[in-house]
Structure 1
């Protein structure tokens, strides 16, 4: 094993590998499909000394062989593995379509020397604009970081289509841009972090939440947990320092919200909309605005009734009508009395 050439993750190409790699297991989790609770294998996020990340998969058939051999945060030398495309795999930890696969011949040995070169944490934080542009079609997961403003108590949610019930908790995080987003944690993720203890801190901590899924439903952006989700409070990273400068301590603690507090927010059709001004909208590039929602606070000073704030429609059908010197005429039913819409 010592004679094998060592390579970095960025140097690897698809197929079986003859050399070795030295990686840190930054995160590791059981890949479970909810709500069926079907176990699909073990997934992990690996990173090398050059801070190049790659999603890793240990298939279900050999998951138990490696479960006790790998520990999150430790560094390992790996030999006899494969690199390949993601195929139909979704929920990758990073937005790269190349995946590190273990197989029955894979061998691992812990490395204890020179591990200070490896970062302890790795995130790919999304901006608010990126959050709004992603949805269930994204093949990779999303990481966010923000100031914890509030959270709800655990509530029981009835799933549609007779899929049973699940416990949930909502978090409200303020991102660097000043926007507050709602993140929903589902059981068992609600028990992996002690939110009640944040109330006693006396300040609002910074949370990095890794491995979230995004979906659009009924005009709202849903940011949800999955089996890969992990929460880090006040992590020792550059983004935490930037947020502390951006939002200095103001003496207010984290709030615990009731159902009555959050129902009006959840029902609002403009939840998740980006605050902006009319002048900013006029200079935006239309393709860059695709998938985003905007909210403008403005005062209506006049209704331009002569400019056509309504249109004329026929009474009998949805076919178009035309104005003639004798009135209005439907393309199907002839003369008609229009109605304003």
Structure 2
């Protein structure tokens, strides 16, 4: 305990008259994609001066009360909240507890002393161990250098905001190494390959000036060249042998995937607008085998395909 307040490591789930001073490092809406993206809760990550962090959740019925009071990056005094056990799956941070706000929770921005709490904390996992995190008890933060990136398409699916943000930042025209931290991803297998899918909680941070990023830049100083400006057309790249030969060193995995997917799988599919699962094309209509009904207006779903690497190796990620 410090001056009448508690550190996050001191919290337990047997009382609620707590007081903490924390920085809000991330904030997102948890939504139900099967119910037209209806908001379930407003969730945040809180970080204290000792570097401990915890997830906090604000139920839908209280979001109007707290949303205007909270902003990413700011430091707050928070009192009178409930501490509960963390969820069994999709934990954003490795803390056995999480916080629930309720209608009498007190929140006030702290204007002095905010420098003692750092801006970020990530739980970065090397690619070499991702295959063992497929049960998704925890969501996964990764760091890597982007060495190739495919074209961006308009997306009508979860992850849309992330893909739009990546498109707006225009990675293909950056003249320096792009070191990307991607947070809160779900580890999955896609077409037999390891992939990361974005979630409601996913954020990405480009070339942060923090020690972990600076150390990582040093570790890949002799790795592949800086990302080049390469446009991947919609048509099959296998037909353009000159383009393949010219760019094979920088986009080999991306090209290989596009060639295979054009021939076998296509790089998009039509999904049910209710459950978002793949539909079967039973001309002249689409059928959802999950919902067992006809789909009048199926949605196209696309992937953002990127190849990234760290000191343990390289892999290809699909971000939906």
Tell me, yes or no, whether TM beats 0.5: yes
Is 1:23 matched up with 2:19?
A: no
> Deviations 1:297-316 (Å, cap 9, x if unpaired)?
xxxxxxxxxxxxxxxxxxxx
Which residue of structure 2 lines up, in the alignment, with residue 152 of structure 1? 150
Is 1:205 matched up with 2:197?
A: no
Which residue of structure 1 lines up, in the alignment, with residue 61 of structure 2? 61
Which stretch has the larger CA shift, 255-264 or 31-40? 255-264
> By how many angstroms is 1:230 displaced?
0.8
- Counterparts in 2 of 1:110-259, with a 5 A limit? 110-135=109-134, 137-155=135-153, 166=156, 186-194=159-167, 197-217=170-190, 219-248=192-221, 250=225, 253=228, 255-258=230-233
Q: In structure 2, do the counterparts of structure 1 residues 38 and 221 end up closer, same or farther at CA, with 3 Å as the change threshold?
A: farther
Distance in 1, matches of 2:144 and 2:189, equals 21
TM value normalised by structure 2:
0.68
Which residue of structure 2 lines up, in the alignment, with residue 39 of structure 1? 39
Paired residues of 2:78 and 2:107 also in contact (CA < 8 A): yes
Distance in 1, matches of 2:154 and 2:227, equals 29
Q: In structure 2, do the counterparts of structure 1 residues 139 and 235 end up closer, same or farther at CA, with 3 Å as the change threshold?
A: same
**Which runs of at least 4 in structure 1 moved beyond 4 Å after TM superposition?**
249-252
Distance in 2, matches of 1:153 and 1:251, equals 18
1:7 counterpart SS class: coil
2:65 counterpart SS class: helix
Which residue of structure 2 lines up, in the alignment, with residue 102 of structure 1? 101
Distance in 2, matches of 1:4 and 1:58, equals 27
Q: In structure 2, do the counterparts of structure 1 residues 100 and 239 end up closer, same or farther at CA, with 3 Å as the change threshold?
A: same
Report the aligned-residue RMSD. 2.9
Q: In structure 2, do the counterparts of structure 1 residues 242 and 153 end up closer, same or farther at CA, with 3 Å as the change threshold?
A: same
- Give 1 or 2: higher helix fraction: 2
Q: In structure 2, do the counterparts of structure 1 residues 236 and 115 end up closer, same or farther at CA, with 3 Å as the change threshold?
A: same
Q: In structure 2, do the counterparts of structure 1 residues 37 and 19 end up closer, same or farther at CA, with 3 Å as the change threshold?
A: closer
Paired residues of 2:84 and 2:99 also in contact (CA < 8 A): yes
1:226 counterpart SS class: coil
> By how many angstroms is 1:203 displaced?
2.4
TM value normalised by structure 1:
0.64
Q: In structure 2, do the counterparts of structure 1 residues 38 and 203 end up closer, same or farther at CA, with 3 Å as the change threshold?
A: same
Paired residues of 2:21 and 2:78 also in contact (CA < 8 A): yes
Which residue of structure 1 lines up, in the alignment, with residue 248 of structure 2? none
> Deviations 1:24-64 (Å, cap 9, x if unpaired)?
10000111233541211101111111110111111111111
> By how many angstroms is 1:92 displaced?
2.4
Which residue of structure 1 lines up, in the alignment, with residue 282 of structure 2? none
> By how many angstroms is 1:254 displaced?
5.1
> By how many angstroms is 1:192 displaced?
2.3
Distance in 1, matches of 2:29 and 2:202, equals 11
Report which of the two structures shows the higher radius of gyration computed on alpha carbons: 1
> Unaligned stretches of 5+ in structure 2?
238-253, 262-306, 310-314, 316-320
> By how many angstroms is 1:240 displaced?
1.3
Paired residues of 2:5 and 2:19 also in contact (CA < 8 A): yes
> Deviations 1:122-166 (Å, cap 9, x if unpaired)?
11101112212111x222211111111122222367xxxxxxxx3
